[in-house]
């Protein structure tokens, strides 16, 4: 079966045709060279998904249904120190089906959280690539440990090797955690013997805990 594009088309869904954005239209027609009447799938990013056909900047609605959220996992991480690494992190977590990504203020962290518009664009890219039905939530700015609801697992050498059942996982900065920075109530979780980059650690933890 040939591959066909998957688009995020936010609600409201009204009538028998849905309008695509100008950016989506350019990508479909100039990059993918998608012709008239070709199959396409779509989602509202809130669990609804459908299949139809592409016609001159619109999608004709076909069979539609609901898909359960694949995970309620929240990933909290210090921001990566470059735009490229941040984009990789966001897109791959979105592909995995993570429910929400937040960036954490840490003592040794040097990266800055990307702008919310950029975060959403990367999350949409991951959603469309993975053909998912739920858009990963992202938020602007930094959060603190005090704002997190427990129980949560913090990735740290020397912690338990048993994958925790917590629905929030926290990854620290490249320089590691400062002494006393990890709250006493946190579940410390050891990802293994090797030293992982921030984004790799976040992906490994997410893949294990989803």
pLDDT tens per residue, range 56-73: 889 999 999 999 999 999
pLDDT number for residue 26: 87
Residue 91 sits in a domain whose CATH number is 3.40.1280.10
Looking at the structure of the chain, the number of domains it has is 2
Report how far residue 6's alpha carbon sits from residue 33's, in angstroms, rounded to the nearest whole number. Answer: 14
Is the pLDDT assigned to residue 198 strictly greater than 90?
Answer: yes
Instruction: For residues 32 and 79, state if they share a domain.
Output: no
35 confidence band (pLDDT: 50, 70, 90): low
Taking a C-beta distance cutoff of 8 angstroms, is the pair 105, 178 a contact?
no
34 confidence band (pLDDT: 50, 70, 90): low
Helix (H) or strand (E) holding 188: strand 187-189
Residue 140 structural domain: 74-209
pLDDT tens per residue, range 93-142: 999 999 999 999 999 998 999 999 999 999 999 999 999 999 999 988 99
Is the pLDDT assigned to residue 1 strictly greater than 50?
Answer: no
Instruction: For residues 62 and 156, state if they share a domain.
Output: no
**204 in helix, strand or coil?**
helix
**162 in helix, strand or coil?**
coil
């Amino acid at each position: 079966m040939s591959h066909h594009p998957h688009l995020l088309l936010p609600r409201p869904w009204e009538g028998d045709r849905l309008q695509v954005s100008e950016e989506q239209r350019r990508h479909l027609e100039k990059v993918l060279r998608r012709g008239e009447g070709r199959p396409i799938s779509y989602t509202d990013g809130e669990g609804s998904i459908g299949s139809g056909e592409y016609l001159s900047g619109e999608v004709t609605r076909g069979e539609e249904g609901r898909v359960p959220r694949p995970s309620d996992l929240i990933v909290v991480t210090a921001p990566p120190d470059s735009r490229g690494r941040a984009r990789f992190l966001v897109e791959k977590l979105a592909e995995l089906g993570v429910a929400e990504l937040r960036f954490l203020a840490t003592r040794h962290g040097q990266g800055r959280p990307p702008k919310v518009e950029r975060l959403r664009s990367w999350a949409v890219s991951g959603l469309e690539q993975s053909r998912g039905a739920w858009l990963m939530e992202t938020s602007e700015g930094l959060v603190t440990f005090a704002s997190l609801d427990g129980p949560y697992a913090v990735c740290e050498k020397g912690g338990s090797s048993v994958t925790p059942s917590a629905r929030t996982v926290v990854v620290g900065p490249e320089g590691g955690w400062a002494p006393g920075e990890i709250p006493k109530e946190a579940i410390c979780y050891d990802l293994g013997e090797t030293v992982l980059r921030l984004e790799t650690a976040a992906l490994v933890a997410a893949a294990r805990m989803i």
